[in-house]
C-alpha cells in the first residue's frame, strides 16, 4: 500500500514540476512579446537613449531571450525572483506583504463555502428531481452565469450604500476584534462564496449522482436501503475522490480568480498586486505572481489525487 502511494505521489510531483516548467516558459514568452520597451516604460518618455541603454544593461535586457529565461528560472527556484521595476524593491518582499492577505481571504472563504456547498450538493443528490433539487440547481446556475463584478457591485450597493451594514472597502489592516474582522471580510467573502458554492455544489452533486448509478448501489436499492442511507453509507465514501477534485478545483480559483473582488473592494492581496504590476509593466512581479498561483493550483490538485487514492483502493494498483 505505502509503496503504491509513494509511487503515485512521485509521479504526481514529477508531472507538477513538468507543468511548472511549461508554465514558466509560457509566462516568460508572454511577457516578452508584450509591446513596448520595459526600460522606456520605467524611465519615462523623456529619458535619453544613454539612460535607456544603461537600464537595459543593468536589467540584463540586452542579453538573448534564452539566457534571460534561464537566469530568471535559476533565480525563481533559488528564492530570488529579482527586483521590482516599479519601486526597486525585492519581488519576494512585495509578495510577502500581499500573499498572507490573499491566503487569509481564501481561508475564510473556504471555511464558509466548503461546508455549505457539500451540504447542498449531497442534499440535491439525495432528493434529485425534487423541488429542492430544481430550486438549488436553478439558483446555482443563475449565480454561475453572473459575472463577479456584478455580484460585488450589487453587494456594495445593497449592504454598504443602502443598508450601511458593512464598509465598501476592505483594507485587511487594523483588525483587533471579531466585529472588525467580520466587517472587513463580509462583502469580499460573500462575493467569492456565491461563485464558489455554486461551482462546488454542482460538481459535488454530479459526483454523487454518478456514484449512485453504480451496480452495487442498485443492489442496495433492491435490498430496500433508503435514499439517505444509499448516499451517506454506500455512495459517499466512493465519491470522496471526485468530491476532493471538485473542492480542489474550486479552491484553486480563490488565488487567481480574486482579481475583480480585490479591485472592487480595494483589498491588498496578491491578485491586486498582479494587476498593478501588469499596468506598470513590472514583469518580474507578474512572472512571480503567476508562478505562485500555478504552484498553488498544482498543490491542491496533488492533494485531491492523494485523497482520491486513499479513498479508493483500486487506484493504488495498476
In a domain, 226, yes or no: yes
Q: Name the phi and psi angles at 170, rounded to 5.
A: -125, 115
90 has which bridge partners? 83
- Count the domains in the chain: 1
In a domain, 79, yes or no: no
For residue 263, give its domain range.
2-10+97-316
List the CATH number of the domain containing 110.
1.10.3720.10
In 3D space, the residue among 108, 27, 94 whose CA is nearest the CA of residue 273 turns out to be: 94
Q: What is the pTM of this model?
A: 0.76
pLDDT 10s digit of each residue in the chain, 318 long? 567 677 777 888 888 888 888 888 888 887 777 666 666 666 666 667 777 777 777 766 777 777 888 877 887 777 777 778 777 778 888 888 888 888 888 888 888 888 888 888 888 887 887 888 888 888 888 887 777 778 888 888 888 788 878 877 777 665 556 777 777 778 888 888 888 888 888 888 888 888 777 777 777 777 777 777 777 777 777 777 777 777 777 777 776 667 777 777 877 888 888 888 877 777 888 888 888 888 888 888 787 777 767 766 666 555
Confirm if 230 and 212 have CB atoms less than 8 A apart: yes
Q: How far is CA 96 from CA 90, 93, 141, 194, 289, in A?
A: 10, 5, 37, 28, 11
83 has which bridge partners? 90
Distance CA 154, CA 279 (A): 26
In a domain, 45, yes or no: no
In a domain, 228, yes or no: yes
The gap between the terminal CA atoms of the chain, to the nearest Å, is: 12
Confirm if 266 and 279 have CB atoms less than 8 A apart: no
* Burial of 250 (C-beta count, 10 Å sphere; 0-12/13-18/19+): buried
In a domain, 18, yes or no: no
In a domain, 87, yes or no: no
In a domain, 22, yes or no: no
Grid coordinates given for 238: 466512493
In a domain, 114, yes or no: yes
Amino acid at each position: 500500500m505505502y509503496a503504491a502511494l509513494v509511487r503515485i505521489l512521485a509521479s504526481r510531483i514529477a508531472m507538477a514540476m513538468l507543468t511548472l516548467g511549461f508554465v514558466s516558459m509560457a509566462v516568460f514568452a508572454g511577457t516578452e512579446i508584450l509591446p513596448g520597451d520595459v526600460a522606456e516604460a520605467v524611465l519615462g518618455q523623456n529619458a535619453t537613449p544613454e539612460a535607456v541603454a544603461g537600464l537595459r544593461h543593468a536589467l540584463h535586457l540586452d542579453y538573448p531571450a534564452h539566457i534571460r529565461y534561464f537566469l530568471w528560472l535559476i533565480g525563481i527556484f533559488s528564492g530570488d525572483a529579482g527586483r521590482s521595476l516599479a519601486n526597486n524593491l525585492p519581488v519576494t518582499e512585495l509578495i510577502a506583504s500581499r500573499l498572507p492577505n490573499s491566503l487569509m481571504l481564501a481561508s475564510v472563504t473556504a471555511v464558509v463555502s466548503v461546508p455549505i456547498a457539500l451540504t447542498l450538493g449531497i442534499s440535491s443528490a439525495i432528493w434529485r428531481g425534487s423541488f429542492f433539487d430544481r430550486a438549488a440547481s436553478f439558483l446555482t446556475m443563475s449565480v454561475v452565469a453572473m459575472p463577479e463584478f456584478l455580484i460585488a457591485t450589487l453587494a456594495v450597493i445593497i449592504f454598504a450604500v443602502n443598508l450601511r451594514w458593512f464598509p465598501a472597502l476592505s483594507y485587511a489592516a487594523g483588525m483587533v476584534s471579531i466585529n472588525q474582522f467580520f466587517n472587513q471580510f463580509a462583502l469580499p467573502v460573500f462575493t467569492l462564496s456565491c461563485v464558489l458554492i455554486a461551482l462546488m455544489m454542482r460538481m459535488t452533486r454530479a459526483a454523487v449522482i454518478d456514484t449512485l448509478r453504480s451496480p452495487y448501489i442498485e443492489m442496495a436499492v433492491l435490498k430496500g436501503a433508503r435514499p439517505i442511507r444509499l448516499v451517506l453509507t454506500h455512495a459517499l465514501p466512493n465519491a470522496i475522490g471526485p468530491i476532493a477534485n471538485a473542492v480542489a478545483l474550486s479552491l484553486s480559483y480563490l488565488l487567481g480568480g480574486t482579481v475583480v473582488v480585490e479591485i472592487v473592494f480595494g483589498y491588498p492581496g496578491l491578485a491586486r498586486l498582479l494587476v498593478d504590476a501588469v499596468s506598470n509593466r513590472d514583469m518580474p512581479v507578474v512572472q512571480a505572481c503567476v508562478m505562485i498561483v500555478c504552484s498553488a493550483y498544482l498543490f491542491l490538485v496533488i492533494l485531491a489525487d492523494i485523497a482520491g487514492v486513499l479513498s479508493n483502493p483500486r487506484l493504488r494498483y495498476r
